[in-house]
Structure 1
Amino acid sequence: WFSEVSPRPHDTGLVTLCTQHQSEFELHARAILGLPVDTSLRNPGASAVIYGGVEAQGIVFDGVEEVLRVPGTDLRLFGKPESFVKRRMGVALARAENVDTARANAKLAASKVRPRVA
């Protein structure tokens, strides 16, 4: 069974930005062009979704500076103009010595980003 087949980059693959030598974007382009792909792991990492949390137009995100001060973490906010409670508005990325630590750090980072009405 498939829930979705999407021959395009997807937010669930953004973790490759901090874990692999080639990101999902480069992997897709190389695969489509028939070029070699490198799927080797650079370091363990994880991502956690940042949900909209509110039904609103034009939101801003509090907590971004706090997250970016933590070594090994990064954010990708998608810039969507409209928020829904369960809409994916971004992801927190974390790299660490092991996946468990990376997962915990990504979840913590995502929890610190708080969408609110502008």
Structure 2
Amino acid sequence: DGTSFCAPIGHRQEEGDYRESWQPQPMSKTALERARIMAAQVTEALGGWGLFGVEFFVRGDAVIFSEVSPRPHDTGMVTLISQDLSQFALHVRAILGLPIPNIVQHGPAASAALLVEGTSTRVQFSGLDEALRAPDTQLRLFGKPAVNGRRRMGVCLARGQTIDAAKAQAVAMRDRIRVEL
């Protein structure tokens, strides 16, 4: 029953593709309250069950609605490391009508997309041992068997003392992974 909110997530796109996301996204109390009110209005008007990723443009206290995704979203992959219930766990609980307790955020965290470009049906990864050596990091490879153009093949996840430290750790992790096509 009702609407639950995670701590806000920020993200960076390049050429229309998600590259990095982080949580929590710093926002003023006024902007956060405005975003929550708008998100509740949008999702209640749409109806249905499950996780809704509601995206806004925020500058200072100004909040402008951008889009809504009625499903887990790529920028929300940071929740795999940033909070006790990931966006995927929240989605399953919501669609099955299971309880959703208070969502606990574990502090600054970030994700960096592992984007591969080329054409191949034989994708090989190396450098994983180096990438996973740092504490408070995780890697999710998506198991996609082929690349034809540009494709997100995984995500690097990291926690840090600050958002900037978490972002730097996720990007460094991604940069240690080598992909052969």
Query: Same fold, TM exceeding 0.5?
Result: yes
Gaps of 5+ in 2: 1-65
Q: Which structure would you say has the larger RCO, counting Cα contacts within 8 Å and 6 or more residues apart? A: 1
| Aligned mates of 1:109, 1:74 — CA distance in 2 | 9
Deviations 1:30-58 (A, max 9, x none): 22215224333112100000011322112
Q: What one-letter code is carried by the residue in structure 1 that aligns with 2:103?
A: T
Equivalent pairs: percent with the same residue? 41
2:99 paired with 1:35: yes
Equivalent position of 1:115 in the other structure:
179
Equivalent position of 2:76 in the other structure:
13
| Aligned mates of 1:67, 1:26 — CA distance in 2 | 26
Structure with bigger strand share is 2
Flag the structure with larger Rg: 2
TM-score by length of 1: 0.86
Matching of residues 20-99 of structure 1 within 5 Å:
20-32=83-95, 33=97, 35-99=99-163
Deviations 1:56-100 (A, max 9, x none): 112111111101111111110101011144210000000111111
| Aligned mates of 1:6, 1:83 — CA distance in 2 | 27
- Is contact 1:18-1:95 (8 Å) kept? yes
| Aligned mates of 1:6, 1:86 — CA distance in 2 | 25
Q: Which aligned runs of 4 or more in structure 1 are off by greater than 4 angstroms?
A: none
| Aligned mates of 2:158, 2:132 — CA distance in 1 | 11
How big is the alpha-carbon RMSD for the aligned residues of Structure 1 and Structure 2?
1.7
| Aligned mates of 2:135, 2:121 — CA distance in 1 | 32
